[in-house]
Amino acid sequence: MKRLVCVLICMLLASSAISFAEDAYIPVYTLDDLAAMGRSPWGRYRLMNDIDMGSVEWVPMPFSGEFDGGGHCLYNLRVVAPGPDSRITRDGNRKEYDTVFLGLFSVLDGASVHNLRITGAYVATENTGHCFAAILAGMMDRSSVSAVFVSGRVHMTNRAVMAGVAGVVGYGCGTLDRCEARVELVFEDRNLESRCEEFMGGILACGIGTVNACSVDIDGYDSCHGYVHNGGLVGMYYHCGMEYDEAPVTNNIISGRITFFEENPDRRAYCEATVGEPLSKPTRTNGNIDTFESQETKNYDVVLLPETCEVPAYETLVTPPTAASWGYTQHRCSGCGYHWTDSYTPPRG
Ligand SMILES: [Zn+2]
């Protein structure tokens, strides 16, 4: 009898341990907790509260686990250098490039990220190597991103060939569902020696997969001495040699504009609301709505930037938080009216 009881108790303990393991998320409360994800990148994590990331220059890390944002916000993310890892990317001719990545994550590999907000991000690089930069991840490989909101600025000063900027993900394959991007994207091409392969998209700069029910408000600036692949939603839709099938690009809402030039005697200048260049065809493209504007210029001497004054004059206006709303600092040029916001502060309530 004693043995039977022991066996029963052992079985109970074992089954509860299994169900605990199935439900177990590692809680993320602090910036240190967030950085620790890089040491066990295959884990399951849940963000437990908002985190101010403004005190560090964040180092992008590869991630292959699950990250549940719990509806919380990472604010004031600042990324000014690529992560330590690199991957091969391929252009429309499947030419290969050893490439580095900027974002909260460098590469999402078989990862799932959902229900997360990233507010007031600043991602900037002056890259001599091939590079993709975005707010959530520079690259994704067979990953799922859903209900992720990003806002902020991504600015690339490019001296390489294969390069792109995006709101949510730079390059790759997977699913992007119910994401929202309110972004300013800038691509300044300083490589005058060779023609770059440039990509820009509010959600995804270059890649393939499902893009469904996303919302974009984009303000893009692209000065390119190579080949432009720009989309309000997706810059170029193509498998790029990745083993991933065409999928629906449906029910997205795209507003804003991309102002660009393509200095190239072989000019193609892809710039469309939904998909800039559909080198692969999405299986469906119904339900996409846009008020997107493609604004091409032909003056190749003037770098296209959101700030247009020769001598900008910035005024700083701090809006304090209230019980229910976020505070922030706005920087506004009194000459041209260009402005951005940073230094978010959480509601007091
Ligand atoms: Zn100005």
Q: Which amino acid is at 67?
A: F
User: Do residues 319 and 302 share a domain?
Assistant: no
Closest CA to 127 of 206, 45, 189, 48: 189
Are 341 and 246 part of one and the same domain? no
d(CA 217, ligand 1 centre) in Å:
21
Cβ partners under 8 Å of residue 91, min gap 6? 97, 162, 197, 240
- Strand (E) or helix (H) holding 13: helix 2-23
Burial of residue 35 (CB within 10 Å: 0-12, 13-18, 19+) is middle
Beta pairing class for 227-231 and 270-272: parallel
- In-domain check, residue 1: no
Q: What sections of 146-189 are H helices per DSSP? A: none
Q: Do residues 231 and 341 share a domain?
A: no
| Whether residues 299 and 345 fall in one domain | no
pLDDT per position as a tens digit, 302-329: 999 999 999 999 999 999 999 999 999 9
pLDDT tens-digit readout, 268-315: 999 999 999 999 999 999 999 999 999 999 999 999 999 999 999 999
Any domain includes 2: no
Residue 168 falls inside a structural domain: yes
Contact predicate 216/252, CB 8 Å: yes
Whether 41 and 173 map to the same domain: the answer is yes
Element (H, E) at 235: strand 234-237
Whether residue 322 sits in one domain with residue 192: no
In a domain, 8, yes or no: no
Cα(98) to centroid of ligand 1, in Å?
37
324 shares a domain with 220: no
Does residue 19 sit within a domain? no
Q: How far is the CA of 311 from the centre of ligand 1 (A)?
A: 7
Q: Quote the ligand 1 centre to 171 CA distance (angstroms).
A: 32
Q: What is the pLDDT of residues 162-188, one digit of tens each?
A: 999 999 999 999 999 999 999 999 999
**pLDDT given for residue 18 in this prediction:** 45
**Separation of 307 CA from ligand 1 center, angstroms?**
5
Q: How far apart are CA 327 and CA 308, in angstroms?
A: 27
In a domain, 9, yes or no: no
As for how many domains the chain has, the answer is 2
d(CA 141, CA 211): 15
Tell me which residue has tokens 């994590």: 45
Q: Print pLDDT tens along the chain (349 aa).
A: 455 555 555 555 454 444 445 569 999 999 999 999 999 999 999 999 999 999 999 999 999 999 999 999 999 999 999 999 999 999 999 999 999 999 999 999 999 999 999 999 999 999 999 999 999 999 999 999 999 999 999 999 999 999 999 999 999 999 999 999 999 999 999 999 999 999 999 999 999 999 999 999 999 999 999 999 999 999 999 999 999 999 999 999 999 999 999 999 999 999 999 999 999 999 999 999 999 999 999 999 999 999 999 999 999 999 999 999 999 999 999 999 999 999 999 999 8
| Ligand 1 centroid from CA 33, angstroms | 40
The domain of 280 spans 25-306
If asked whether residues 117 and 82 sit together in one domain, one would say: yes
Cα(335) to ligand 1 centroid in Å equals 4
> Which amino acid would we find at residue 78?
R
331 alpha carbon to ligand 1 midpoint, in Å?
Answer: 11
Domain annotation covers residue 284: yes
For ligand 1, the distance from its centroid to the CA atom of residue 197, given in whole angstroms, is 30
Residue 198 CA to ligand 1 center (angstroms) comes to 26
In a shared domain, residues 166 and 233: yes
* Same domain, yes or no: 342 and 243: no
pLDDT at 19: 47
CA–CA distance, 347 with 326 (Å, rounded to integer): 5
Same domain, 117 and 52: yes
Q: How far is the CA of 304 from the centre of ligand 1 (A)?
A: 13
CB burial of residue 319 (10 Å; 0-12, 13-18, 19+): middle
**What local confidence, expressed as pLDDT, does residue 349 receive?**
82
Q: Cα dihedral sign for 298, 300, 301, 302?
A: positive
Same domain, 129 and 44: yes
CATH number at residue 140: 2.160.20
Give the distance (Å) from ligand 1 centre to CA of residue 309: 4
